[in-house]
Amino acid sequence: MEILQLLIREVKNSDATLSIVPIVGMGGVGKTALAQWLYNDAKVNSCFEKKAWVCVSDVFDVLDITKTILQSITRSSDDDKDLNKLQVKLMDNLAGKKFLVVLDDIWNEKYEKWTALLKPFEVGAKGSKIIITTRNRNVAFITRASPYHLRELSFDNCISLLAFHALGVTNFESHPAFEIIGKKIAKRCEGLPLAAKMFGGVLRTKSNLDEWEDTLNNKIWDLPTAKNNEVLPILKLSYVHLPSYLKRCFAYCAVFPKDYEIERDELVLLWIAEGFLDGQKANENILKLGWKHFDELVSRSFLQQSSIDASKFSMHDLLNDLAKSILGGTCFSSGGSQVASNEHDVSSLEKTRYASFIPSWFVTSKFLKPYKGMKALRSLILVRDGSSGGSFFISNKVLHDLLTNLKYLRVFSLCHCCIVEVPNCVGDLKHLRYLNFSYTDIKRLPESIGALCKLQALILRGCQKLSKLPQDITKLVSLQFLDIRDTKSLKEMPLGIGKLENLIILSKFVVGLEKGLQLKELKNLPHLEGELFISELQKVEKVIDAVDANLLRKLGLTNLSLHWGEHLGDLHNHECEAQVLDSLRPHTNLENLAISNYRGAVFPSWLDCTSYYKIVSLCLWDCPNVMSLSMIGQLPSLKELSLKGLHSIRMIGSEFYGGTRPFPSLTTLKFEEMLAWKDWSPYVGRPKEEVSFSCLKHLVVRGCPSLVGTLPCQLDRLIKLEIHSCPHLNNSTNDVCLPSLHELFFEDCNKEILKGLINLTSLTILTIKNLAELVCFTHGFMSHLSKLYELHIGGCNQLKYFCPQFASFVAGETEIELPCNLENMELSNCTSLEKLPSKMYTLSYLSIRWCPKLIRPTISSYDPNSNNLMSQLQSSCIGKCDSLTFCPSTKGRLATLKNFDIQSCEGVESLEEITIESLKNMTISNCENLRSLPQFLPRLSHLTQLIISNCCQIEDFPSLPLTLSSLTLRKCPNIKSLTSITNCPKLRDLPEDGLPPSLLSLFIQRCENLEDRCSKHTGDYWPLIQEIPCIVID
């Protein structure tokens, strides 16, 4: 596709640090789908180090968008509400990195908001991209970037898409009777993919021409089309043709904000609570019935799978508009600031049946005031907005006052909230069917929960502090779904949990010693299905209890985890444990099995039974007494196998493979902490027989100190290989062919591990840590890494040079170049490394830390072409290189460097000869012998951020460039003259010419002499700083 090639070409060849790619087109034309395809494309992924996706929609909140991007980049939550701090954190994480950010569905036309959002993105590496999708051309205009106009489908492509969704084929050749009418219908779609998919979803249930004709001639086409809703008639038509049992299910989704993503089971449980599903009438399990309805909505394109999280689904924003139009005044949705500005009359509120609220950080009673007037409200869902991420706060009183006004609630969901207790009044909601407190801080539920006789679903997932369930929960005779996954503090079940005979989902069962807490309580729960985690199995005293649990008859169980408690000493009876495990045989419908902390000597006999043909994942962890693994290789559907802490396993061989064609489906294999494992015998098959591990993509061998020999020889599809702490494993005797390998990781291994690795033509990332006695790489090894993009080397104390030829480099002779596509190189803790290769043509990022013998990053002066030997370098981090100095030969050679960070380099006394006019960000810290800052500092016309920390010898401060927007001085006790400025007690003067007009923030802390002069209104420096937006003096 043209835009894909354009994107990749610009990423690799562009001189710009950041460029914007606006995708513009009408609603339903496929802008988000195109952005998702680009975001997930393997070639695109190989170009970027960091990625983030944000659904923006109507509200363009710079703080929320920044927070979401930061959380996506760091993969951790951040509840900071200070935009400046968030942007600084984001800059730290993006500095020198090539990133891709997608901002989906933007409507903002305010230039100042756009520029405010872009501030942190200027520090990235060359080729970084922001893709935006929008229907509004003015949005593209404010980005000052050339838009990519996404056109409608050609007529032929529209016919093909319609035929695929209607008939499962790409044309009408096999259905000639439908071709003419099909083309007429395709014309109605006007080239819009969403319209073709929705129309196809309607037609797939129509089996004759008359029904197709009726659909084409429906009067709904004559309805006027609202502005910006180009496909609304088609969407209405698609809704009209939904079966009645799906219409309510679809319309209910209006309660969620646009772009909200929800898991399948969560939505199905909400439908059940609202009474949309009638399992008895359909003579079917109600949960499975809900899954069928859900899958049908997906197949008709009313719901679509998330491109970021495959377990979640969302609705196109035009379909969200349609659902809201169907429910009309019975649906209400708002968030924080919106409520105060929208007054609703009492009569309209009384009609509301379904409502959601998007909370801000702190939810007070004024925000919830409209909801108190919804006397007939059936569903209230407090939704964590995807763009704001973190938790929110609400007081117990505000929550109490809200619930006491909503007597007819069937659904109440309060997730990701920092509450520690639930008001007792929740027990007064007699009509409640669904109650969700997932990911809150609650420790206990009130006993009043026992009064909710109609409650069907209680969801407490991720309540890490929940230590006990109320005893009266056993009175909830209607309860079908109890989700207590990820509740690590929950150590016991309520007495008599077996009384809840209607339970379908019980995600966790904690075995107790007392009657009513024992494993046999599961006997009375015949309908259990889905996931079941049984813990504290060491407390099972009688094998008959395991027999009575009767897992074999629970046909719906697909995920089973069996866990014995830790550190219990004499309580472990190894023989009893083996009998218990053997008695816990599940039904053959099982798909995922995990056994952990089991102390028996053998795994159960049923595990090697090939009748478990559905198992796709098997985890056997911390079973130290098991001595053999038999027949696992014959599980036909097994895709993921994880073996960890099996300390008595000494050999893996023929019994592991179990017969011919072992592991035909396995994609991920992990061996970890197997202390006695010594021999991995290869599979020996018949001539021309398919090799073992024919589908293996990811192999991990970690913490196996006794393992000797080599890896399997032929791993043609392996993409990622990780070897950790296997000092005796080597490949010196056999060649290991890895033609598809992309990522290779070695840590705490012998240098011989590198020998025999051949055909690494696809390798892009190589990480080597703590390889004993590695002095250099062989020329053959390095020269064939033609696609290598990242190189990480750490803890190789004997490493002196990269290739044998580099030894002559010390004498100034010709050297071998690094791999031709290498862009990122990180070196750390290489204590013998003295010099780097000078020919680092392609590097854009270079990090060197804890290399005490490194003299300088050399750029040879005798080479006539040496002026551009680091012409691509964008970012450099150098730390704890005590011998490092900088010399005149480096002057002018780093013309593209934008980010420079030097830390703890005692040998650096001056930076005068490094004139890097392209710098945007510079950090200098813990350089104890650095006597002065470079005098060229004012000439750095692009510098925006400067940080100086722990440089005790610096006394004078040069003038500052006008472009500087952030200056931090920290622990520079001898500086006398000069914006955080902390721990500088002698400092009393700011620059004579004042501070840069672009400065946004100034922090002064523990600088007694300067604080008085900068005091508000009274200090003589106040007129110089009063226009800075953020000033903090402490």
Whether 338 has a pLDDT exceeding 50, the answer reads: no
Distance CA 896, CA 919 (A): 8
Token match 């840069």: residue?
996
Q: Quick one: pLDDT at residue 380?
A: 95
Tens of pLDDT, residue by residue over 868-881, are: 467 788 888 888 88
C-alpha angle 47-767-102 in degrees, rounded to nearest 5: 25
| Window from 112-116, 445-449, 583-587 with minimum mean pLDDT | 112-116
pLDDT at 251 over 90: yes
- Interior angle at CA 387, CA 386 and CA 389, nearest 5: 65
Say if residue 697's pLDDT is above 90.
yes
For residues 846 and 236, what is the distance between their CA atoms, to the nearest angstrom? 56
Confidence of residue 811 (pLDDT cuts 50, 70, 90): very low
Contact 610, 638 (CB under 8 A): no
Chain centre to alpha carbon of residue 620: 26
pLDDT of residue 615: 96
H or E stretch including 312? strand 312-314
In the prediction, which pLDDT does 246 show?
94
- The pLDDT assigned to 689 comes to 64
Q: What is the pLDDT of residue 861?
A: 37
Model confidence at 864: pLDDT above 60: no
Helix ranges, 469-610 (H): 543-549, 574-583
| Mean pLDDT, residues 832-848 taken together | 81
Residue 577 CB burial class (10 angstroms; 0-12, 13-18, ≥19): buried
pLDDT of residue 346: 64
Nearest to 255 by CA among 93, 154, 130, 382: 382
675-679, 796-800, 1018-1022, range with greatest mean pLDDT? 675-679
Which single residue is written with the structure tokens 């590496």? 125
| pLDDT for residue 465 | 95
Of the two residues 801 and 545, the one the predictor is more confident about is: 545
Residue-level pLDDT at 197 = 87
Q: What is the mean pLDDT of residues 33-59?
A: 84
Least confident segment among 32-36, 696-700, 756-760, 1012-1016: 756-760
Counting residues of the chain whose pLDDT is more than 90, the rounded percentage is: 35
Instruction: Region of 402 please: left (phi>0), alpha (psi -120 to 50) or beta.
Output: alpha
583 CB contacts (<8 Å, ≥6 apart)?
A: 543, 546, 547, 549
Residue 860 confidence (pLDDT) above 60: no
**pLDDT over 70 percentage in the chain:** 87
CB within 8 A of 901, min separation 6: which ones? 95, 876, 877, 878, 879, 921, 922, 923
Whole-number average pLDDT of the chain = 84
Q: How many CA atoms lie within 13 A of 991 on its CB side?
A: 15
pLDDT at 648 over 80: yes
What is the pLDDT, as a whole number, of residue 323?
Answer: 92
Band of residue 178 on the pLDDT scale cut at 50, 70, 90: confident
pLDDT at 654 over 80: yes
pLDDT score, position 815 = 55
pLDDT at 44 over 90: no
Closest CA to 242 of 165, 296, 196, 323: 296
Give the closest residue to 303 by CA, choosing from 750, 434, 295: 295
- For residue 328, pLDDT beyond 80: yes
Per domain, the residue ranges of the chain are 2-149
Say what the pLDDT of residue 810 is. 39
Which tops the pLDDT comparison, 758 or 194? 194
Rounded to whole angstroms, the Cα distance separating 746 from 726 reads 9
pLDDT digits (tens, 9 = 90+) for 412-469: 999 998 899 999 999 999 999 999 999 999 999 999 999 999 999 999 999 999 999 9
Which tokens go with 3? 């835009």
| Per-residue pLDDT at 489 | 95
What count of Cα atoms within 13 Å lies in the side-chain half-sphere of residue 185?
34
pLDDT in tens, 944-975: 788 888 888 887 777 778 777 677 777 787 77
Asked if 662 contacts 685 with a C-beta cutoff of 8 angstroms, the reply is no
User: What does DSSP assign to residue 491?
Assistant: -
Higher-confidence residue of 544 and 328: namely 544
Position 189 scores a pLDDT of 85
- Measured CA to CA, the distance from residue 638 to residue 621 in angstroms comes to 17
In terms of average pLDDT, the best of 134-143, 426-435, 624-633, 833-842 is 426-435
Q: Are 495 and 516 in contact (CB under 8 A)?
A: yes
Q: Is the torsion defined by CA of 406, 410, 413, 419 positive or negative?
A: positive
Q: Which of 910, 977, 899 is nearest to 943 (CA)?
A: 899
Segment 664-670 mean pLDDT: 96
Adjacency order of strands within the sheet including 304-305 = 262-263, 312-314, 304-305
Angstrom CA distances, 157 to 182, 232, 539, stand at: 13, 21, 63
Report, as an integer, the average pLDDT of 782-805: 81
CATH class of the 2-149 domain in this structure? alpha beta
- The 3-state DSSP class for residue 467 equals coil
> What is the per-residue pLDDT for 515?
87
- Pairwise CA distance, residues 949 & 943, whole Å: 17
Angle at 527 between CA 522 and CA 530, to 5 degrees: 90
Name the nearest CA neighbour of 350 among 329, 326, 328, 379.
329
Coil, strand or helix: which one is 788?
coil
More confident residue, 810 or 397: 397
Residue bearing the bigger pLDDT, 897 or 441: 441
pLDDT score at 290: 95
E-strand ranges in 681-770 read 698-702, 720-726, 736-737, 743-749, 757-758, 765-769
> Does residue 859 have a pLDDT over 70?
no
Rounded Cα–Cα distance for residues 95 and 874 (Å): 9
pLDDT digits (tens, 9 = 90+) for 589-608: 999 999 999 999 999 988 87
Tell me the C-alpha distance between 959 and 857, whole Å: 28
Q: Which residue has the higher pLDDT, 724 or 391?
A: 724
pLDDT in tens, 973-1004: 777 666 567 666 767 777 666 676 667 778 78
- Is it the case that residue 887 has pLDDT exceeding 70? no
Average pLDDT over residues 744-768: 88
Angle (CA) 274-276-278 rounded to 5° is 120
pLDDT score of 750: 86
